[in-house]
Amino acid sequence: MASSAPAALFQNDGDNSLAEGFRDKVASLHSHFDRDGDGYLNHSELRGLQLLTSGNDMHQGQYVMVCKSMGCDPSKGLGLDALRLVYASDGTSIEEDYLKVFGKAQSGESEKETPISEDDDDVLEVGEGGVDISN
């Protein structure tokens, strides 16, 4: 049974509500920051996520390192499954980051996500900085 836990992070056909909540929250974050809608978080998009959730900025070189460490092509960015792996790692909290972005816990289908920022551009207009995924 323990071997099915990682699969639960990626499959949408299970009854595991904890894994489903995790998947939904990561998908919501990914969708919110995927400004061009291509299914990947490019440097600018991932940089916005990093800045808003941790206060740390991200240099291009760090972005390339993150992509390569997750098996992603830096010219595309991080896909949804790669972001799920990041949030499944020790030292990350999808609950905390979800609250920072949307301002409330996700408790039901009837609730609509409400980003804290009304201006979408303010997340992406940031300076150079760093990312630490080794927490």
Residue range 56-88, pLDDT digits in tens:
999 999 999 999 999 999 999 999 999 999 999
Given this model, what pLDDT does residue 130 score?
A: 43
Q: Of 61, 9, 10, 53, which is closest to residue 32 (Cα–Cα)?
A: 53
Given this model, what pLDDT does residue 17 score?
A: 73
**pLDDT band, residue 16 (cuts 50/70/90):** low
What pTM did the predictor assign? 0.68
| Average pLDDT, integer, range 92-99 | 95
Distance CA(97)–CA(106), nearest Å, equals 12
| CB contact set of 33 (below 8 Å; sequence gap of 6+) | 41, 45, 46, 48, 49, 123
The first and second tokens of residue 28, run together, are: 């919501």
pLDDT for 120 beyond 50: no
Count the neighbouring beta carbons within 10 Å of the beta carbon of residue 83.
24
